[in-house]
Chains A and B, each alone.
Chain A
Amino acid sequence: MTAVVERIAVPTLALLASAVLFGLLLAIYARVDPLEAFALMYQGAFGTWFSWQNTLTRAAPLILTALCTALPARMGLIIIGNEGALVMGGVAAAAAGVAVIDAPAPVVQLAMAVAAMIVGGLWIALAGALRQWRGVNETISSLLLTYIAIALMNHFVEGPLRDPSSLNKPSTWPIGDQNMIGTITGTDVHWGLVLGIVACLIVYVWMRFTTWGFALQVIGGNPKTARMMGLDVGRYVLLACGAGGAMAGLAGMVEVAAIHGRANASLAVGYGYSGILVSFLARHHPLAIVPVSILLGGIGASGGLLQRRLDLPDAAVVVLQGILFVAILASETLYGRLWKPKEAA
């Protein structure tokens, strides 16, 4: 029982503390009424049905990219190359979609998803393989691979894959309106959100109830024991990294098939980096990734109103995110150390 109270009380304390800190910054430096700002943020993120849809749309790509860090993290690898896998996945999806453009829409979409997941998966599996067989630190190699991926994307989009009629914003050929993933019936939110939530559920079940998932946790807990037990660590490294990369690649496919309709530089706008934050905040737990993504999406959605109504710079929401993250991370130390909170709290 205490554990449950704690799980609610600690993050709440962290939220309150960050709200106070951010409010002080607004009140003292920017001379803005913090309560007005928070009311606006609530309105912009969750206040109306439109705001909710805005929040969920922004959360969708983060759920998938977060899995790219979360899966390898279960076995102790720190991957930060999510953005690269997303970008490569997006380019692969667009290329595949254009290649089979005349097939029925479900076939095109499936081809795009498969291509994106394979390329994204291979991209991160490369970092895992380098780690396993060459001893190259996976955190750096995945970061380097991100920069390389973005350069490759620019090269393809402005060179071999370019649609010559995309004049001032070089892009690949469009995949065709008929092949786009639509929005969830009755809403404005695309199916990528559902895809992300389903992916998190699958990963959860996989981790929790299958031997493979269990083996990953064993390796993460103690690699030496794992080797003594005869587990083929290399295979699991490839598996975890490949599956994580495939999820980020899928995020790239969703961007292409639900939003842009083609691949171009708009793929690299930082969803991958936000995914890293989400994963760490969710403590790499697949089910926690969904609410954390929604929280982050909500902060993003509310930023516009802060700019327009209070004339705050766009960086205001970045500051809030930063304070929030640091506070939540630091609050982890409180678990098991709070005196039993009052029953009423």
Chain B
Amino acid sequence: MENGGLGLWGVPLAMLAGAIRVSTPFIFVSVGECLTERSGRINLGLEGTLVMGAMSAYAIALTTGSPWLGVLVAACVGLLLGALHAGICQLPRVNDIATGIGLMLLATGLAFFLGKPYIQPKAPNLGAIELGWWSGIPQVRQALQVNYLFVVGIVSAFALAWALKNTRWGLIVRLAGESVDAALAMGVPVGRVRLIATAIGGAFAGVGGAFLSLYYPGSWNEGLSSGQGLMAVALVIFARWDPIRCLWASLLFGAAGAISPALQSVGITEGYYLFSAAPYVLTLGLMIATCSPERALRGAPGELGAVR
């Protein structure tokens, strides 16, 4: 404990802290995508939505001085991008995976293009809740600094899980995702349901982006996301379309990402490239361990083309 260091005990603590700090964008994107996919639509373009959300939130926070207004605008931008995706995919013969990739490129490009003037200035950040006030150890206090959006993310994961299961609206979404024929027979407007579900999914991703630019790491630049949105979409399939499992998957992924710096910070420094790959190896390993050819379909919405 000399000089305030925690030694090896710092590693699990750092991973917990890392999970809390890093996982929020993953939670938002994967929970949003979960809703979208349950309605039978896949939106691979959320990486672009995330980046666009980050940029617009930062720009708005900078010009108005209010970070929460930035979050709101990011949600609206995400809503529009999601609706655009759903609108294009509803045209006959249009492939939603390809459109998602196209929109990812477009949104990322637009964010970089429009975001140039905002790289330099410093925008106000979202504040944190100090949950570690009870502890005398600064590391614990630091680890338990929690952003409001993290809490919102957790709550929305549980809320979505509950709503999908217990509300009429949730039933309609699932019906649209399971079988178009059945839904149409029941008089469910499949197109409109998917449009709404995809738009809301996009709004979630936009908020995830706002977290990146307004809280952690807390500034806008072009390398900000580097694939987090894409990874979060992948986590949905990993979590088998269950919002609560999306939450756990995001936390796990965030914690695994903290392994490399945490180990280096306590002096375990060999092979850090391999430790950096830990989140991906872990995800793949868990998938291999938990999937099986017979069970692969469990939880998958019937109308989802990508996961046949």
Contact = CB atoms under 8 A, between A and B. Distances in A.
Interface in A328-343: 329-330, 332-333, 335
A259 interface: no
A321 B113 CA distance: 13
Contacts of B104: 322
Contact of A152 (B109, B238, B277): B277
B112 A135 contact: no
Contacts of B2: none
Nearest to A127: B284
B176 to A, nearest CB: 20
Contact of B284 (A144, A154, A280, A315): A144
B276 interface: yes
B159 interface: no
Contact of A315 (B98, B109, B271, B277): B109
Interface in B69-113: 88, 91-95, 97-99, 101-113
Given A329-B95, A330-B91, A322 B103 contact: yes
Interface stretch (B5-13, B143-151, B191-199, B289-297): B289-297
Contacts of A136: 284, 287-288, 291, 296
A219 to B, nearest CB: 12
Given A144-B234, A148-B277, A333 B271 contact: no
Interface string A279-316: 01100000000000000000000000000000001111
Contact of A151 (B107, B111, B273, B288): B273
A143 B283 CA distance: 11
B88 A329 contact: yes
Given A135-B296, A332-B93, A319 B101 contact: no
Interface string A44-88: 000000000000000000000000000000001010000000000
Contacts of B306: 78, 139
A217 interface: no
A318 B51 CA distance: 14
A335 B91 CA distance: 11
B99 A139 contact: no
Interface in A112-162: 130, 132-137, 139-141, 143-145, 147-148, 151-152, 154-155, 158-159
Contacts of B94: 329-330, 332-333
B262 interface: no
A135 B234 contact: no
Nearest to B285: A144
A147 B291 contact: no
B152 to A, nearest CB: 26
Nearest to A313: B116
Nearest to B282: A144
At the interface, is chain A mostly helix, strand, loop or mixed? helix
B106 A326 contact: yes
Interface residues of B, number: 52
Contacts of B237: 137, 139-140
B93 A321 contact: no
A277 interface: yes
Given A140-B237, A143-B230, A322 B288 contact: no
A33 B143 CA distance: 52
Contact of B88 (A78, A276, A326): A326
A333 to B, nearest CB: 4
B114 interface: yes
Contact of A143 (B105, B234, B274, B295): B234
B91 A135 contact: no
Contacts of A236: none
Contact of A140 (B222, B287, B295): B287
Contacts of A143: 230-231, 234
B274 A151 contact: yes
B296 A325 contact: no
Given A280-B95, A322-B108, A29 B291 contact: no
Contacts of B106: 319, 321-323, 325-326
A135 B277 contact: no
A328 B227 CA distance: 24
A289 to B, nearest CB: 14
B273 A319 contact: no
Given A155-B274, A325-B102, A332-B93, A135 B294 contact: yes
A15 B204 CA distance: 32
A315 B110 CA distance: 7
A140 B238 CA distance: 8
B308 interface: yes
Contacts of A137: 237, 287, 296, 307
Closest 7 CB pairs of A and B: A322-B106, A135-B296, A318-B109, A315-B112, A151-B277, A325-B102, A333-B91
24 contacts: A133-B293, A134-B291, A135-B291, A136-B284, A136-B291, A137-B287, A137-B296, A139-B237, A144-B280, A144-B283, A145-B284, A151-B273, A151-B277, A152-B274, A280-B102, A313-B116, A318-B105, A321-B109, A322-B105, A325-B98, A325-B101, A329-B95, A333-B92, A333-B94
